[in-house]
Structure 1
Amino acid sequence: MTNHLDPAHPQPAGKLVYGHARLHDCLAFADADTAAEEAREIATIASAATWGEARRVATRYTWNPVGPEYHDPDEGPADDEPFDITEVGGVKDGDWPPMVTTRALTLLPKDLQAAFSDPTETALNGYYLEIPLRHESDLVAQLREHGFEISRDDDLINLLDGRSFQ
C-alpha cells in the first residue's frame, strides 16, 4: 500500500474537491471520485425519519453511526421511534461524520502540507490540517502542478463535515 505521507512513496495525483470548511474556517479537501456519494450517504442517514430507517441505510464510503456495528438496536430506541441525528452519541461527540479537515493529511502531498499549513490538534478528535483561506490560489496552483485535477464545492465539503444538520 502506498503511503503518500512517506515522500519516498508519494500517492499518485488524482481528483480533489475542496472548499471552505466552516467549522474550522479553513480549506478542506476530499477525494472527488467518492465525495458526492459519501455526502449522499451522510444526508440519507441524517434525514431518516425513524431509527429503523436510519439503521437500514447501507454505506460504502462512510460508516453509519446507528448501524449494527456501532449501535445495538436492542438497547436503544425502537425502529418506529422518531430519529434525530443530533441525538446520536457519535454525532454529539463530534466523531460522525469525521472532520473533513483531517482528509488533507492523507490526500495532499507532504511537501504542500508543510508549505501551506501546520497540523492542528483538537481536544477530542485528533489532528487535522488548518489551511488558511489566504493560501487557496497558491495551493490550488501547486496541486495542479503536482498533477491533481481540482474543483471547489463549499456545500459538498460542509455536507461531508456534517454542517447540514449541526
Structure 2
Amino acid sequence: MTGPVLVLNGPNLNLLGKRQPEIYGCETLADVETLCRRTGEGLGIAIDFRQGNAEHELIGWIHDARELAAGIVINPAGYSHTSIAIMDALATCACPIIEVHISNIHRRESFRHHSHVSYVAAGVICGCGIEGYALALRRLATLIGKAPT
C-alpha cells in the first residue's frame, strides 16, 4: 500500500499541554502533528493526522483507512481500556498498526494497564512522551518497507 499513514488521536488529546501536564507534558497536539509531519517527511511518508473525541468518529476513520492507508499509528487514549469496537475495527485492517501512549500506562492506575488495542497492534510504545509518535512512525516505515537505507 502506498497511501498515507493515518495518525489517529483519541479523546481529550486535543487538550494536550493544558490537561495534566505533569503526566502528559507541556507539548500541544499541534506540536505532535508538527513532529509527525517532520518525521514522515524524513521517511518519505505522507501523514494524515486526526483527533476525535467520539468513538464512532474514530471507527469511521479506521474503516476508511482499510482502503487508503499504508499503516496506522493510534493513540486511543481512554478508549484503549474500554473500546472493543475500536479494537474490532482495527482488526479489519490489513495494514500494520502501532499503538502509542504518551505516558507509561503501566505506571498509572491499574485500569490503564490493559489495552484492547494492543491485541491488534504490531507494536506498542508508551512512556516516551510525544517522541513516541516519531518512534512509531520509524517502526511503521520499517514494516511498510519505507525505512531509509
TM-score by length of 2: 0.24
Higher-Rg member (1/2): 1
Larger helix share, 1 or 2: 2
TM-score by length of 1: 0.22
Higher relative contact order (CA 8 A, sep 6+): 1
